[in-house]
Amino acid sequence: MSASHRPRPFRLIVTGGGTGGHTYPAATAVRTFRARLAEAGETLDVLWSGTPDGLEARVAPAEGIEFATVATGKVRRSSNLLKMASPANLRDMARVPLGVAQARKIVSDFRPDVVLATGGYVAVPAGLAARMCRRPLVLHEQTVRLGLANRKLAGSATRIAVSSESTLPLLPDAVRKTAVVTGNPVRPELLAGHPRKAFESLGLEGFDRHLPTIYVTGGAQGAQQINNVVRESLPWLLERANIVHQCGPTNVDALRASAAELPPGLTTRYYLTGFVGPELPDVLALADVVVSRSGAGTLAELTALGKPAVFVPLASSAGGEQAHNAHHLADAGAAVALVGDVTAGRLQTALGPLLTDPARRAAMAEAARAHGRPDAADKLVDVLLTAASG
């Protein structure tokens, strides 16, 4: 559908959330959609369907998006059938019909041109309601393999937007024809950082400009596994690199105590913080190597930027998605994947060649960039417009 000559605002229902991996790509897509229509002198009416205690309940109002709550049921996956039939699972599953009924009323009243579902159990009611109300449904999958919610909705989807070419052969034959590779939307501000600004905003005067810089992050709350192996490796690492370490607010004091025992010549190369906020784009621009988890959003950001990475996947991620993500890039030469028992020695073995060999870093950066899709949000908007046009 053309973004011009439309008699009323384009109406979009967004559903999905629970975590940042499902929520932020949707928010970025909405921003991009609004900008696209604004260029044509048109507007976008958006309604986000989710749960009151999910991340989406905070993100949607912050983005100026109307928010509607529905009842949902979370399936706690387990290979043990008895655990699958736990009281919590049975109780939540019983809520699904109520959520579908609520979502059906929302969809019927709002009459969207298209429904965008970005995954998470919160997406199921509105996704099913789209089919019941015969509204086009676009699924967006952030990971290499379809998540549980999107697998349940795939047969109802008008289009399935996936983040990687590698996803296509993994799709069931019946839905593969509806799939299109868009990539995973990345916040545009992350692509506009500058190393100099990181030095200024964080006060990194003690960094050695002749050494590479490592950015260590375990997400907003930090990751104890990553923090521990970095702490054990600090002297070794700081002899070879500067470090910006985002460790999570509750972990700062313990790591600061460990850093206090470092030789004076090394402490100035170590910047420790609980949380990295608006300065994140500049920190990423400064980083020569990133050590992090391997969630879908992180992969999208680092490949769009072309950053060499050492991934330490979260072992408990749903369906082993983080390990699968990490191996996907490692197999392409775009990252190193540390899976299983991650020790200080293994971390040093992974980082050593990257810190001492600029050519190796450059090759890995190029391989990462080849998997990046900085225009993913625009491509997803194209898919939404096409689905709405029938």
Domain 10-186+375-389 in CATH 3.40.50.720? The answer is no
Cα separation, 359 vs 168, in Å, equals: 32
Cβ(313)–Cβ(326) under 8 Å?
yes
Q: How far is CA 137 from CA 47, 143, 150, in A?
A: 14, 19, 11
Cα separation, 313 vs 9, in Å, equals: 42
The pLDDT score that the predictor gives to residue 166 is 87
The pLDDT score that the predictor gives to residue 145 is 86
CB atoms within 10 A of CB 246: 26
The pLDDT score that the predictor gives to residue 319 is 67
The pLDDT score that the predictor gives to residue 76 is 47
pLDDT in tens, 65-86: 999 999 876 654 555 555 555 6
Query: pLDDT category, 220, cuts 50, 70, 90?
Result: low
Query: What is the residue whose two structure tokens read 């789209």?
Result: 130
Cβ(106)–Cβ(94) under 8 Å?
no
Closest CA to 121 of 30, 38, 19: 19
pLDDT in tens, 326-360: 999 999 999 999 998 999 999 999 999 999 999 99
Per-domain residue ranges of the chain: 10-186+375-389, 188-370
Calculate the CA dihedral of residues 64, 67, 73, 74 and round it to 10 degrees: 10
Tokens of 121: 């159990």
Query: pLDDT category, 219, cuts 50, 70, 90?
Result: confident
Cα separation, 325 vs 216, in Å, equals: 18
The pLDDT score that the predictor gives to residue 93 is 60
The pLDDT score that the predictor gives to residue 124 is 93
Cβ(144)–Cβ(169) under 8 Å?
no
pLDDT in tens, 241-285: 999 999 999 999 999 999 999 998 899 999 999 999 999 999 999
The pLDDT score that the predictor gives to residue 72 is 79
Cα separation, 40 vs 35, in Å, equals: 9
Question: CA torsion sign, 323 to 328 to 332 to 334?
Answer: negative
Amino acid identity at 280: L
Same fold, 10-186+375-389 and 188-370: yes
pLDDT in tens, 21-69: 899 999 999 999 999 999 999 999 999 999 998 999 999 999 999 999 9
The pLDDT score that the predictor gives to residue 317 is 74
The pLDDT score that the predictor gives to residue 241 is 98
**With 90 as the cut, is the pLDDT of residue 189 above it?**
yes
Amino acid identity at 106: I
DSSP strand pairing (137-141 vs 159-162) = parallel
The pLDDT score that the predictor gives to residue 337 is 97
Closest CA to 24 of 226, 185, 195, 222: 185
Q: What is the assigned CATH class of domain 188-370?
A: alpha beta
Tokens of 332: 């392409």
The listed range with the strongest mean pLDDT (164-168, 184-188, 240-244, 296-300) is 240-244
Provide the b/e sequence for 274-313 (b: ≥16 CB within 10 Å).
Answer: bebeebbbbbbbbbbbbbbbbbbbbbbbbbbbbbbbbbbb
Q: What is the 3-state secondary structure (H, E, C) of the chain?
A: CCCCCCCCCEEEEEECCCCHHHHHHHHHHHHHHHHHHHHCCCCEEEEEEECCCCCHHHHHHHCCCEEEECCCCCCCCCCCHHHHCCHHHHHHHCCHHHHHHHHHHHHHHHCCCEEEECCCHHHHHHHHHHHHCCCCEEEEECCCCCCHHHHHHHHHCCEEEECCHHHHHHCCHHHHCCEEECCCCCCHHHHHCCHHHHHHHHCCCCCCCCCCEEEEECCCCCCHHHHHHHHHHHHHHHCCCEEEEECCHHHHHHHHHHHCCCCHHHHCCEEEECCCCCCHHHHHHHCCEEEECCCHHHHHHHHHHCCCEEECCCCCCHHHHHHHHHHHHHHCCCCEECCCCCCHHHHHHHHHHHHHCHHHHHHHHHHHHHCCCCCHHHHHHHHHHHHHHC
Cα separation, 216 vs 226, in Å, equals: 8
**With 80 as the cut, is the pLDDT of residue 110 above it?**
yes
Give this prediction's pTM: 0.86
